[in-house]
Structures are given as structure tokens and as C-alpha cells.
Amino acid sequence: MTHKILILPGDGIGPEIVAEAVKVLECLRQEHSLDATLEYGLLGGCAVDALGAPYPEETRHQARAAAAILLGAVGGPKWEKLDRPLRPERGLLAIRADLELFANLRPALLYPQLAVASALKPEIVSGLDIVIVRELNGDIYFGQPRGIRTLDSGEREGFNTMVYREAEIARIARVAFETARKRSRRLCSVDKANVLETSELWREVVERVASDYPDVALSHLYVDNAAMQLVRAPKQFDVIVTGNLFGDILSDCAAMLTGSIGMLPSASLDASGKGLYEPIHGSAPDIAGQGVANPLATILSAAMLLRHTLNTPDQAERIERAVGRVLDKGLRTMDIMAPGMIPVGTQAMGDAVVAALAE
Ligand code: IPM
Ligand code: MG
């Protein structure tokens, strides 16, 4: 079966880094180890400019018809002053909601070749390999009511609603337990159950789901403690499951442990394995168009796409090994540069990965 992959380059460095991931996919296509057609679409600021909305109807049709989506990044100063519904980030939130991509997998893996790039001591981070499973369709991100209202006194007040239904908690918990099962069978659920009712229910439901996974060791941490433990002793974690807001924050923290946000891919999956794959870093408008951005997170996102949606783990591993070989050779984009290494730009890095695929 030929799979339809929708490519959404997005804004800022998005088009540059996506072009390198496409080179990798094209290489697999030409050697017939990938049976897919690639189609292009617009999401984010570029979609606002061309079609007047960050997640236009056209893109919605394409996204619904695709088996998987590869996204660069969205956003930039050009669109920051627009009304909220027109901002590029809204496009991202809208596609996640529209396709019910509720399970966000964010691995934080430290490449041994890059241990020096971490802000933490090598002995604290070497060998680090964590997956954060973040719920992506609920919580205070989407809860109603929300808004900014004017009180009788004339003072304005902002308000949002943190809310989780039992079924939403249970389905992300199952993804997390399944993920832990394929790894070292340890799952830590993060909440704020000492203060928030939403978290109290979260903890209760996660406990209930745990009875179906007696082989997985479940623990719980409050989010403030989890943040502290992540920087104090991150290797105690294997899989972390948490809600949308806490997951947003903790996944940036975990990413930084690896020293290079430019290396980390992510997957956002629906209940049937359809997914949107994107690097966890942003659109980096400050370096856009210069050919210096690191394409590896996007290339590794394409690998996740092959693993999770196309079910071709062998091809995913090939890409991951190729990335490892390129790092072994000492090739480094600016963000992961270290003394004695070979500086390369975006395209040279992509070409090197393609070449390493054949080795
Ligand atoms: C992320 C981003 C998004 C989020 C923003 C851009 C809406 O920070 O993917 O983590 O908060 O989810
Ligand atoms: Mg974030």
C-alpha cells in the first residue's frame, strides 16, 4: 500500500530543515524501501500569508487524507501581533485537535558523541534515555471557559480552565504503559495532586489503568519535584506521563538535558497510529535562511514516522544509525559545535546523513 505523507515545512528554518528530511525519505523511496507519495501543504504563518488562516481548510483536507504528516516548525515575529486566532501556534493547536493527536511522545536521548554539549555534568547525563508521554488534546490548553473579562471594578481578569475527563486520562495512560512495556518497564506519572482536583482524578485513573499492567512499575511525582529531579538525577526516569501543560514545560527541560534541542524529534499520535512528526525545537527566525540550522531533529522525526505510522522499524533504525555515524565522523552544525569538530551547514548535514544511509 502506498502511504500518503503530507509535508508541512512551516515557517522560519522549517523549510530548510524539512528539505533535508525529504532528501532522506526520497533516498529510501528510490531504493524501494519506502512506498510513499509526498505532498506539500501550508501550516502556520505561511498559511496565514497565503490563505488567511494558520490551519486552512485546504490543509485540513490534506491532513485528514494523509497517513502521516511531517512538520518543520511554525511561528515568527512577523505574525506575533496578529489576533490570537490568526497566530501560527493556533494552527499547530488546531491540527492537533482536529486530528485527535492526543499522544505526544517526546524522547530525550543523549547522543554519547554530544555529552559535552549538555549544561549538566557528563556523569549526570551520560546514557540518558527518557521518553515523555504528554497528553496533547486536553487540559488548560483547550478547557472552557477561558478568556479575559472586565470586572465591575473596571479591572481586567484572565482565566483558563484546567480540565480532564476520565477517558482522556485513561487513554494517555495506556499509551504510556505500552511505551514503558517496550522499554525498561518503569513509568512515572507527574501531576499536582496536592493542590489540583484535576490531578487528584488523574492520579486515581492512572492507578486504575495500572492494574492492567502489573509488569510495569508505576510511581507518582508532583510536578515541582519532577522538575527538580529531572535536573538533579535525570537517569532515574524511563517513561514519564503527564498532562498537556506540565508536559509542555517538562519536555523542554528534558530536552535541554541532552544539550541540543536541535537533535530531538517528536511524534503526536491518534488512537490508530496516524501521526504528526516534528522536531521539538521552534522556527528559530533569527537564523532562518542562513543554511546553518540543524536538520537532525527533523530527520529523526522522519525516522519516528517510519517506526510509528508506517511500521517499518528497520528503516527507522537505519536513519538513526546514519545520524550516529555522521556524528561519529565529527560533523557538527553550529548548535552542537565543539572544539576539534567539523563545522557544517544544514544541507551538508543532510547530504552526509543520506550518504551514511548507504554505508
Ligand atoms: C510545543 C510548543 C507548543 C505547545 C506551542 C507552540 C503552542 O511549545 O509543541 O511544545 O505549547 O504545545
Ligand atoms: Mg513547548
Within a domain: residue 119? no
Q: How much is the pLDDT for 112?
A: 86
State pLDDT tens for residues 303-357.
999 999 999 999 999 999 999 999 999 999 999 998 999 999 999 999 999 999 9
Within a domain: residue 22? yes
Does pLDDT of 256 surpass 90? no
Cα–Cα distance, 108 to 117 (Å, whole number): 14
Q: How much is the pLDDT for 45?
A: 98
DSSP assignment of 72-134, as one string? EE---GGGTTS-GGGSHHHHHHHHHHHTT--EEEEEEE--GGGGGGSSS-HHHHTT-EEEEEE
The closest residue, in CA terms, to atom 7 on ligand 1 is: 89
Domain end point (choices 257, 284, 311): 257
Q: How much is the pLDDT for 259?
A: 77
DSSP assignment of 20-80, as one string? HHHHHHHHHHHTTS--EEEEE---SHHHHHHHSSSS-HHHHHHHHH-SEEEEEE---GGGT
Within a domain: residue 116? no
Specify whether the CB–CB gap between 15 and 44 falls below 8 A: no
SS3 content of the chain, % helix, strand, coil (to 5): 45, 20, 35
Whether residue 285 sits in one domain with residue 218 = no
State pLDDT tens for residues 137-150.
999 999 999 999 99
φ/ψ of 205, rounded to 5, equals: -70, -40
State pLDDT tens for residues 18-51.
999 999 999 999 998 899 999 999 999 999 999 9
Q: How much is the pLDDT for 33?
A: 86
Within a domain: residue 118? no
Rg from Cα positions in the chain: 20
Q: For residue 90, name the pLDDT band (cuts at 50, 70, 90).
A: very high
Within a domain: residue 96? yes
Whether residue 297 sits in one domain with residue 214 = no
Whether residue 345 sits in one domain with residue 226 = no
Q: How much is the pLDDT for 261?
A: 83
pLDDT above 70 as % of the chain: 100
How many A from CA of 247 to the centre of ligand 2? 8
Q: How much is the pLDDT for 179?
A: 96
pLDDT above 90 as % of the chain: 91
The answer to whether 222 is a known catalytic residue is: no
Does pLDDT of 80 surpass 80? yes
| Mean pLDDT in residue range 78-104 | 96
pTM of the entire predicted model: 0.94
Q: For residue 260, name the pLDDT band (cuts at 50, 70, 90).
A: confident
Domain count, the chain: 2
Whether residue 191 sits in one domain with residue 101 = no
CATH of the domain at 289: 3.40.718.10
CB atoms within 10 A of CB 84: 7
Question: b/e map of 325-351 (b: 16 or more CB within 10 Å)?
Answer: bbbeeebbbebbeeeebeebbbebbbb
Within a domain: residue 349? yes
Within a domain: residue 120? no
Within a domain: residue 124? no
All three cell numbers of 12 = 522560519
Closest among 171, 177, 237, 241 to 210, alpha carbons compared: 177
Does pLDDT of 122 surpass 90? no
Can you name the residues that pair with 81 across neighbouring β-strands?
A: none
State pLDDT tens for residues 217-255.
999 999 999 999 999 999 999 999 999 999 999 999 998
CB atoms within 10 A of CB 143: 15
Place of cell 538533579: 232
Which protein residues touch ligand 1 with a CB less than 6 Å away? 89, 92-93, 248
Q: How much is the pLDDT for 309?
A: 95
Does pLDDT of 82 surpass 80? yes
The answer to whether 141 is a known catalytic residue is: yes
Q: Which domain holds residue 28?
A: 1-107+265-359
How many A from CA of 93 to the centre of ligand 1? 8
Specify whether the CB–CB gap between 322 and 296 falls below 8 A: no
Nearest atom of ligand 1 to the alpha carbon of 104: 9
When the pLDDT of each residue in the chain is averaged and rounded to a whole number, the result is 96
Cα–Cα distance, 263 to 255 (Å, whole number): 9
Domain end point (choices 205, 225, 257): 257
